[in-house]
């Protein structure tokens, strides 16, 4: 029982199916751990205990009746606080939404419940999804269970910490520039960004609440953070597919391109002057390459025919990103605007300039970036005729210290091999997949010299979610994989 909360969701589903444990019992295991550890970590910000207990009991009764069950039946999970949940507050880290209680579930939440998932509560995040640390004026920061002086990552940092520390079976999240993969890397998890538009974001904030719930923010995707890569398969089965308003359109994930590590064709992209990585991430790359070469995989380092340079891809990303962010202007205060203008004036080529330009760009300017995005996507289609996956860093370093000035987003720095680098280097490697619209899955590789987890990410062709997940599963089996944080094990 002590190991149960750290087991994979797949093993827990098997235990539920065999009768080894009931959904009600498994829920109480997690509620006990939440009671013991969540106050310190600040990962789960809203609980739905009464409803979760009722639904767990109903799940057990339905199983006993012999009825047909969904792929997540009876499994206690959490969801990121950016998804609307009927009768349960949805804050999204925003002071203006601190008392907002939706009257209906987001579409993805509705599908999770229909698949049998029992939702324990909501996990912490930055205000409006717009940071790489989970900290906001309503709930404060989430702490990394490996070292509470370090950030959890963001935006889905609360969900990553809850999953890593054994407070939930998995967390269902979202991202627009690495928000599931970065926290997964920082906390030692498998994290997945689904293919763009494969899971509807109706009822996700932003655009929800109100009439905005029917829109879907550009670039944004659903995702999840799990302890074993195979856990991602049933949750994708539960949530992938078009919204009802698309009528007869259907979407089916492609099967894995290979089922043995040695059968994969792997491009390895780990060096780029725009975003250098530190020695610990380089060591993780070396470990992965050794495993791939031992397995007999076809590996090519730094292919000369990459479809796009990071500089070009990231330029398009920032233009689209800040265009998407303009929908939510709740964080545009006098203080944040002053900080943005000051940073933009200090240096010409910085994210602050992109933020300023992107916020007020014309529709024609956005269309130019959109056309460039789709051209890049076409280039990746051609590239993935020769390769099955691309192995890349997630961020340049392990989890950095908390940044305690959320308003000054563009004055922050991180240290990479002792050199000061822009704080927003943390999204550059992840953003490649966001521009491409491709699925990407993180793999926990090793423990760094500072005692923190180090991961890598694998990106695949659009619709190839099962390919990146299978590759991550097989590679993770040869490496360190998920390990419970010692202080919370």
- Classify 462 as helix, strand or coil: coil
**How remote is the C-alpha of 473 from its chain's centroid?**
17
- 145 touches 489 (CB < 8 A): no
Instruction: Give me the average pLDDT of each 10-residue run along the chain (489 residues).
Output: 91 98 98 98 98 98 98 98 98 96 97 98 96 96 98 98 98 97 98 97 91 89 98 98 88 94 98 97 98 98 96 96 84 72 70 82 95 98 98 98 84 94 96 98 98 98 98 98 96
Nearest Cα neighbor of 258 from 425, 107, 474 is 474
Residue 372: Cβ within 10 Å count? 18
CB 159 within 8 A of CB 409: no
Taking a C-beta distance cutoff of 8 angstroms, is the pair 392, 432 a contact? Answer: yes
CA distance 44 to 119: 12
Domains identified in the chain and CATH numbers: 4-255 (3.90.1300.10)
Helix (H) or strand (E) holding 26: helix 23-41
β-strand partners of 288: none
CA–CA distances in Å: residue 301 to residues 159, 271, 296: 33, 9, 15
End-to-end C-alpha distance for the chain, whole angstroms: 12
Alpha-carbon distance 325 to 176, whole Å?
10
- In whole angstroms, what is the distance from residue 153 CA to residue 344 CA? 24
Contact 253, 463 (CB under 8 A): yes
Please check whether residue 42 is in contact with residue 141, taking contact to mean a CB–CB distance below 8 angstroms.
Answer: yes
Q: Which among 479, 452, 459 is positioned nearest to 397, based on CA atoms? A: 452
Ramachandran area for residue 92 (φ above 0: left; ψ -120 to 50: alpha; else beta): left
d(CA 42, CA 60) in angstroms, rounded, equals 30
How do beta strands 147-151 and 143-144 pair? Answer: antiparallel
Identify whether the C-beta of residue 158 lies closer than 8 Å to the C-beta of residue 124.
yes
Tokens representing residue 371 in the block? 């056309």
For residue 120 the two structure tokens come to: 């324990």
Q: What distance in Å separates the CA atoms of residue 305 and residue 383, rounded to the nearest whole number? A: 8
Maximum pairwise Cα distance, the chain: 67
Q: What is the pLDDT of residue 216?
A: 87
The label of the residue with tokens 């993969």 reads 181
- Token pair for 435: 């521009």
CB-facing half-sphere around the CA of 273: CA atoms within 13 A: 3
Instruction: Using the structure block, give the residue that is written with the tokens 């490649």.
Output: 432
Q: Give the DSSP H/E element, type plus range, for residue 453.
A: strand 453-459
* Total length of the chain: 489
């Amino acid at each position: 029982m002590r190991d149960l909360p750290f087991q994979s969701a797949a093993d827990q589903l098997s235990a539920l199916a065999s009768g080894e444990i009931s959904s009600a019992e498994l829920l109480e295991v997690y509620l006990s751990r939440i009671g013991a550890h969540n106050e310190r970590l600040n990962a789960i910000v809203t609980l739905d205990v009464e409803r979760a207990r009722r639904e767990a009991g109903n799940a057990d009764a339905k199983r006993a009746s012999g009825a047909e069950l969904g792929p997540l039946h009876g499994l206690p999970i959490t969801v990121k606080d950016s998804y609307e949940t009927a009768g349960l507050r949805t804050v999204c880290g925003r002071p203006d939404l601190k008392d907002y209680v939706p009257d209906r579930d987001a579409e993805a939440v509705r599908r999770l419940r229909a698949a049998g998932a029992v939702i324990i509560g909501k996990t912490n995040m930055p205000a409006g999804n717009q940071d790489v640390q989970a900290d906001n004026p309503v709930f404060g920061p989430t702490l990394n269970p490996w070292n509470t002086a370090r950030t959890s990552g963001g935006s889905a940092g609360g969900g990553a910490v809850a999953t890593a520390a054994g407070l939930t079976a998995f967390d269902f999240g979202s991202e627009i520039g690495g928000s599931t993969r970065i926290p997964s890397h920082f906390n030692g998890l498998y994290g997945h960004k689904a293919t763009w538009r494969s899971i509807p974001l109706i009822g996700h904030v932003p655009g929800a609440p109100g009439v905005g719930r029917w829109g879907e923010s550009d670039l944004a995707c659903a995702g999840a953070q799990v302890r074993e890569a195979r856990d991602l398969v049933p949750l994708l089965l539960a949530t992938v597919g078009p919204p009802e308003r698309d009528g007869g359109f259907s979407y089916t994930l492609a099967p894995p391109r290979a089922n043995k590590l040695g059968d994969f064709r792997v491009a390895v992209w780990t060096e780029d002057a725009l975003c250098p990585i530190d020695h610990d991430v380089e060591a993780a790359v070396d470990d992965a390459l050794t495993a791939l070469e031992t397995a007999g995989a076809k590996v090519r380092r730094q292919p000369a025919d990459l479809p796009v340079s990071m500089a070009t891809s990231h330029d398009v990303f920032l233009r689209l990103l800040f265009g998407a962010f303009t929908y939510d202007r709740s964080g545009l205060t006098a203080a944040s605007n002053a900080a943005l203008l000051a940073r933009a004036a200090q240096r010409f080529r910085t994210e602050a300039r992109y933020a300023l330009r992107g916020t007020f760009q014309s529709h024609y300017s956005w269309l130019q970036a959109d056309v460039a995005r789709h051209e890049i996507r076409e280039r990746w289609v051609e590239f993935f005729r020769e390769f099955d996956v691309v192995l890349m860093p997630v961020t340049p370093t392990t989890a950095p210290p908390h940044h305690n000035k959320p308003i000054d987003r563009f004055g922050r720095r991180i240290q990479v091999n002792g050199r000061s680098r822009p704080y927003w280097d943390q999204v550059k490697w992840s953003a490649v997949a966001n521009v491409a619209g491709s699925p990407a899955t993180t793999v926990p590789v090793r423990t760094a010299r500072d005692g923190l987890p180090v991961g890598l990410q694998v990106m695949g062709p659009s619709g190839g979610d099962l390919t990146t997940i299978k590759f991550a599963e097989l590679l993770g089996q040869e490496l360190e994989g998920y390990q419970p944080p010692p202080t919370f094990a």
